[in-house]
Structure 1
Amino acid sequence: MTDIERYLRAATRDNTRRSYQAAVDHFETQWGGFLPATAESIARYLADHAQQHAVSTLRQRLAALSQWHISQGFPDPTKAPVVRQVLRGIRTLHPTPPRQAAPLLLQHVQTAVTCFEEEARQAQANHDMAGLRRARRDTALLLLGFWRGFRGDELARLRVEHIQAEAGVGITLFVPRSKGDREALGVQHRTPALKALCPVTAYLQWLQVAGIAHGPVFRKLDRWGNLGDQPLNSNSLVGLLRRMLARAQVPAALYTGHSLRRGFATWASANGWELKSLMSYVGWKDAKSALRYIDSTQRFGDLAVLPSTPLPVLAP
């Protein structure tokens, strides 16, 4: 791979690159289309899959085909009027409600953390390093993910050398790349220490038992508690999150990798955060993106005040 190819590859997120390649393969191999394509063939492709896929999926397929044509120096057929009209007709005749992850309830966060703390206590008593590491890693992943409103890919990209944490004060995290960072400049996030469910304490406890001073923060653990060198795959975090919550008897099937972000956004909204403050804290560039994550129908109410611990104070 040449330097130019390496930099071009780095300009696109891994998940985006994989999904685009899968879409192009579907058009060519499974449907039998030819590239470069005509606007008419793109329109037929959409019509043939109108009843099988949601409009959001078809839009993603169009984005992949558009990117292929542009990168190869061909005119983009996906912008033709006939393609836009067919897509509009599909949206009219086959409306589908938006699919969103359920917001992770703060009550469930507390339940899971309580479970992990008990696991850590028993592991320490039994000199079980594997159990201790798993409990500390899962606590840190859950609390950092929730209180920072991180997506799975952002959690996977966290590196020890990009983080400064001080017990009782706060934590600063630099994320070199994320979906909302269009210019790939990196984003710095700050979160204060909390009296309860503290992400700073959880992170420091994880580093202590992990014994890592650089590299990925969150890594795979084998059955003996040995840490891998590579970061957790962002696509595996949904399964990991569900297994974590299932250990705590939380209804894990409700949640996906976006549940941490939606859970924090809904909690913040229910606790009086203004939209502008929430957007700045999480890193949303426009209000529409933020509002999609806030569950206006589910107010946390008394769930915002935990019955057995002081309410976390996180100023907007």
Structure 2
Amino acid sequence: MTIGDDFAIDALAGFLPLSARDRLAETLTAAEIDTLTHLAKAGTGPHSLRALASDLGYLEAWARASTGAPLAWPMSEATVLRFIAHHLFDAAERERNPEHGMPAAVAAMLRADGRLRTEGPHAPATVRRRLALWSSLHRWRGLEGPFASPSVRNALRLAVRAADRPRARKSRSAITRDVLDRLLATCGRGTALDVRDRALLLLAFGSGGRRRSEIATLEVDDLENLEPVPADPNAPSGDKLPVMAIRLRRTKTASADAGESALVVGRPVEALRAWLAFAKIAAGPVFRPIDKWGNIGAAALDPQSVNAMIKSRCAAAGLDPREFSAHGLRSGYLTEAARAGVPLQEAMQQSRHRSVQQAARYYKEGDIARGRAARLG
């Protein structure tokens, strides 16, 4: 994202973009508009706003590079079709015909602006996302865009089909229990980073493979200690394991007022309590940045730092950091559940997936190969 995207973030404040303020100025006070805009920003979330602003910045840069003018409102059907042709071209045909797809001059301008990083066609999901934002911007301005026209819809459908590009995984490899144990083995020096990262890894995995944004925004008020449970369900009077409920804030699949939570038992609870005691955290963010001198900050850990931490731990464990990301904890949890014979529906109650189809994708091919379904022939 560039400096120019800072303004775009204000323009993407949910249902009150800047273009709507003029229409509302005669009926709402400036304070009321500011209040609603603030709520819209808070409801969307800073990371989502940055992503949307980045997409808007790309659309603006592409329009100037390809047409010599800024985005027009409403946008013409021909320009939207041009956007599809520039981004969902056939890479093999491009080898034979250099004029196929995005013109070299347009690509050069976008690269010089820091907007274009890929050499080939864009992922269909990226193109769809940017077209959806473009369409939303038209609606916010009270305009009818060309995005639902038969020609645009048909061009997009056929271009995606021609691309025949499988959806890339957010993490090439799942962080299953064996991988997790290797990462945890790098957290044994007792430093602030080690204590924090051990707690974060165990909590993210044990609570169902929580997303990095959910872990980074976790606060002490979201934690609730519950009654311990027997370590052996068949021996209720024996050793007990600690239990904690984690309240889930706004996620991709639930709003903040949904009242959802995930339970963690045993090691994750012990590691989390050890971190809170080590860092003397009694309120506010649970996971916080730590500088190179070991000083613990007061703000919440940035979600990107979760990803960077996992890659750093992978390198320390002798694993290829390119193979793993924070999302590997989520896919790894469901993969491990499949290995342990946990029914998919039960695993989904912990991971909070809404779609069976989506959750089932994380039951990796290697685990399917060990099962009976692939051996019926």
Name the TM tier (shorter chain): 0.7 to 0.9
Counterpart of 1:215?
A: 284
| Contact kept in structure 1, 2:244 and 2:264, CA below 8 Å | yes
Q: Cα distance, 1:82 vs. partner?
A: 1.8
Pick from 183, 195, 206 the counterpart of residue 112 of structure 1.
183
Q: Give the TM-score, by structure 2 length.
A: 0.71
Pick from 216, 220, 226 the counterpart of residue 160 of structure 1.
220
| Contact kept in structure 1, 2:339 and 2:367, CA below 8 Å | no
| Contact kept in structure 2, 1:28 and 1:34, CA below 8 Å | no
Are 2:262 and 1:199 equivalent residues in the alignment? no
Counterpart of 2:48?
A: 16
Q: Cα distance, 1:29 vs. partner?
A: 2.3
The change in CA–CA distance for 1:186 and 1:38 in structure 2 (over 3 A counts) is farther
- Deviations along 1:90-133, whole A, 9 cap, x unmatched? 1122111211112112112112212312x12xxxxxxxxxxx21
Q: Cα distance, 1:88 vs. partner?
A: 1.1
3-state SS of paired residue (1:230):
coil
Q: Give the TM-score, by structure 1 length.
A: 0.84
- Note the residue ranges of structure 2 that are not aligned, 5 or more in a row: 1-30, 65-70, 90-120, 229-240, 371-377
Q: Cα distance, 1:172 vs. partner?
A: 0.7
Structure 1: which amino acid aligns with 2:261? Answer: Q
- Note the residue ranges of structure 1 that are not aligned, 5 or more in a row: 121-131, 302-316
Are 2:323 and 1:254 equivalent residues in the alignment? yes
Counterpart of 1:280?
A: 349
Structure 2: which amino acid aligns with 1:292? Answer: R
Q: Aligned runs of 1:1-316 on 2, under 5 Å?
A: 2-32=34-64, 33-51=71-89, 52-100=121-169, 101=171, 102-117=173-188, 119-120=189-190, 132-148=191-207, 149-165=209-225, 168-182=241-255, 185-193=258-266, 198-298=267-367
Structure 1: which amino acid aligns with 2:223? Answer: I
The change in CA–CA distance for 1:3 and 1:47 in structure 2 (over 3 A counts) is same
C-alpha separation in 2, matches of 1:40 and 1:61: 16
3-state SS of paired residue (1:171):
strand
Counterpart of 2:374?
A: none
The change in CA–CA distance for 1:19 and 1:47 in structure 2 (over 3 A counts) is same
Q: Cα distance, 1:295 vs. partner?
A: 1.3
Q: Cα distance, 1:186 vs. partner?
A: 4.8
The change in CA–CA distance for 1:8 and 1:136 in structure 2 (over 3 A counts) is same
C-alpha separation in 1, matches of 2:261 and 2:79: 44
| Contact kept in structure 2, 1:158 and 1:217, CA below 8 Å | yes
C-alpha separation in 2, matches of 1:135 and 1:246: 15
- Calculate the aligned-residue CA RMSD, in Å: 2.0
- Deviations along 1:223-259, whole A, 9 cap, x unmatched? 1211112111112321121112222323322111210
More displaced 10-residue stretch of structure 1: 59-68 or 206-215 = 59-68
- Deviations along 1:249-308, whole A, 9 cap, x unmatched? 23322111210000001100121121211222111112122123321334697xxxxxxx
| Contact kept in structure 2, 1:160 and 1:214, CA below 8 Å | yes
Greater radius of gyration (CA): 2
C-alpha separation in 1, matches of 2:366 and 2:144: 44
The change in CA–CA distance for 1:183 and 1:84 in structure 2 (over 3 A counts) is farther
More displaced 10-residue stretch of structure 1: 224-233 or 257-266 = 224-233
Aligned residues: 285
Higher relative contact order (CA 8 A, sep 6+): 1
